[in-house]
């Protein structure tokens, strides 16, 4: 039977995906600096093998033949998602896939050495090569998929979402945030005038922070038997569902950035660990896309981790591990602190979307040719000043060099972060409607009902529908920014 051949085909691809994922995670966390060249070659070769196997002409024949077989509803969904994946894979020739992997890894390795020094002149040629390659990729994908070039790239990270729907939502959100930020900062200043921010002790050894982080991970449901926590330059969640590799980065003079990073990545890890295991080797059993992935990580970080109810449970753990003696009134102003800043990953709930929208706008300009890489620092600075009132012109390290996404060739990824924040707020509102006691449950350290809703409505759905359809099924409506706006107003506007 052709369906059985496809099942075996997906299992073989799954083995290659597993190897590539673990190799990629190791490259970012454990590999010696001198191993970069050979690792790039090895991963490029494996990527080419994967692509050639995934796009073998027999696969198309098997898909067409399987459509005529008697299949269960879940098998039909799996077959449909495999066909969508196959079409996206066959947009690109295998030699281009190898070149992309090799170029991206070398660019990323150069970025790691150039960024600490803010050496834009050294990094610029590498990014120019990436942008040129992405323009080539976007053109190939757009022709096959019948999409605009940027939408064709975004489809690889977030199936079903399009700029035609996203851009108006982002425009509404940006207009709100630019007006709301001064209001929120004024309200914060008024609160801090009455009760000044209690200074952190500044003595937080990494081993204590890691122990605290792991206890938090376990508390919210992460299975440490199928996951781990390491250190990297840029926090991420990698690996595979049976072996989730999470990372964060630490500072010993404060603990909240690392802890919030751990909670964020734990949200990713929970999604991966709870995908349907029976379909793990089929595309329909994998994570839907990055905006849903980000909705799960931001749900844990924002809706749970910055929720005052959560800290009724978490504060004693902080005190025990970090040898502090805090009250809720001491800690919450730190948890909810907002400020204008240059760094996306360190940004608060209010300013973070402005960082993302800036990147969303710039990478479309880069892809279309309206902007060239040599002019990127000035364009970045102009948008930062317009939205956040900050200049980065003399600080490329904390301007256009700060993220790993562009050096690695990931255009179309950034919108997922803010789409995820919007979706997380919408999901939280849906939970509140059916479970008004959710804050009391979280305050007592009980995450079972929250996780049950997410398992039923998000995790178990995997890639059985498009991103917009999964959100509609889960919450009863299309993406609606009003929930996120209301969330910010309630938490920061008074």
At 379 the pLDDT is 98
- Where in the sequence numbering do the catalytic residues fall? 265
d(CA 126, CA 387): 28
Helix (H) or strand (E) holding 230: strand 227-231
- Going from the C-alpha of 6 to that of each of 50, 88, 279, 285, 298, the distances in angstroms are 15, 17, 13, 14, 35
At 438 the pLDDT is 97
At 256 the pLDDT is 92
Give the three-state DSSP class for 234.
coil
At 350 the pLDDT is 97
Q: Which pTM value belongs to this model? A: 0.91
Distance between start and end Cα atoms, the chain: 64
The low-confidence residues of the chain, meaning pLDDT below 70, are: none
At 286 the pLDDT is 97
Q: pLDDT tens-digit profile of 426-482? A: 999 999 999 999 999 999 999 999 999 999 999 999 999 999 999 999 999 999 999
**Interior/surface letters 31-42, b for 16+ CB within 10 angstroms, e for the rest:** beeeebeebbeb
At 282 the pLDDT is 97
Q: Per the structure block, which two tokens stand in for 130?
A: 């990436």
Q: Which residues pair with 231 in a beta bridge?
A: 248
d(CA 73, CA 204): 53
The alpha carbons of the chain give a radius of gyration, in whole angstroms, of 22
SS3 content of the chain, % helix, strand, coil (to 5): 70, 5, 30
Helix (H) or strand (E) holding 12: helix 2-29
d(CA 152, CA 7): 27
Contact call for residues 276 and 291 (beta carbons, < 8 A): no
- Among the listed residues 399, 398, 344, the one whose alpha carbon sits nearest the alpha carbon of residue 373: 399
Q: Per the structure block, which two tokens stand in for 439?
A: 């804050």
């Amino acid at each position: 039977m052709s369906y059985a051949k496809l099942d075996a085909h997906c299992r073989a691809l799954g083995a290659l995906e597993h190897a590539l994922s673990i190799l990629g995670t190791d490259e970012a966390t454990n590999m010696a600096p001198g191993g970069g060249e050979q690792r790039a070659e090895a991963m490029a070769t494996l990527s080419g093998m994967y692509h050639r196997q995934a796009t073998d002409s027999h696969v198309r024949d098997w898909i067409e033949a399987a459509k005529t077989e008697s299949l269960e509803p879940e098998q039909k969904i799996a077959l449909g998602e495999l066909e969508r994946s196959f079409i996206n894979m066959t947009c690109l020739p295998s030699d281009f896939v190898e070149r992309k992997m090799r170029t991206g890894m070398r660019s990323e390795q150069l970025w790691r050495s150039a960024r600490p020094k803010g050496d834009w002149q050294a990094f610029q040629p590498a990014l120019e090569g990436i942008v040129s390659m992405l323009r080539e990729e976007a053109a190939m994908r757009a022709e096959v998929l019948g999409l605009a070039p940027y939408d064709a790239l975004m489809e690889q990270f977030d199936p079903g979402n399009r700029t035609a729907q996203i851009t108006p939502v982002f425009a509404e959100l940006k207009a709100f945030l630019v007006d709301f930020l001064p209001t929120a900062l004024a309200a914060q200043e008024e609160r801090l005038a009455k009760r000044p921010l209690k200074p952190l002790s500044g003595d937080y050894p990494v081993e204590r922070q890691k122990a605290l982080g792991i206890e938090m991970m376990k508390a919210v449901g992460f299975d440490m038997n199928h996951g781990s926590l390491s250190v990297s330059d840029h926090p991420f969640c990698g690996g595979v569902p049976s072996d989730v590799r999470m990372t964060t980065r630490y500072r010993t003079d404060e603990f909240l950035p690392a802890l919030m990073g751990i909670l964020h990545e734990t949200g990713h890890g929970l999604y991966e660990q709870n995908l349907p295991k029976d379909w793990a080797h089929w595309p329909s059993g994998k994570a839907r896309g990055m905006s849903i992935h980000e909705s799960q990580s931001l749900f844990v970080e924002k809706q749970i981790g910055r929720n005052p109810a959560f800290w009724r449970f978490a504060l004693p753990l902080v005190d025990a591990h970090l040898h502090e003696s805090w009250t809720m009134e001491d800690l919450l102003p730190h948890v909810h602190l907002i400020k204008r800043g240059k760094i996306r990953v360190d940004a608060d709930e209010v300013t973070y979307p402005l960082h993302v929208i800036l990147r969303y706008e710039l990478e479309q300009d880069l892809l279309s040719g309206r902007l060239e890489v040599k002019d990127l620092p000035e364009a970045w600075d102009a948008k930062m000043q317009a939205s956040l009132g900050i200049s980065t012109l003399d600080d490329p390290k904390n301007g256009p060099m700060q993220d790993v996404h562009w050096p690695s060739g990931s255009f179309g990824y950034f919108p997922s972060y803010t789409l995820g924040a919007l979706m997380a707020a919408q999901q939280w509102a849906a939970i509140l409607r059916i479970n008004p006691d959710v804050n009391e449950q979280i305050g007592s350290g009980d995450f079972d009902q929250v996780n049950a809703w997410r398992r039923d409505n998000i995790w178990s759905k995997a890639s059985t529908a498009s991103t917009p359809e999964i959100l509609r099924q889960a919450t009863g409506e299309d993406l609606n920014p009003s929930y996120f706006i209301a969330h910010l107003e309630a938490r920061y506007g008074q």
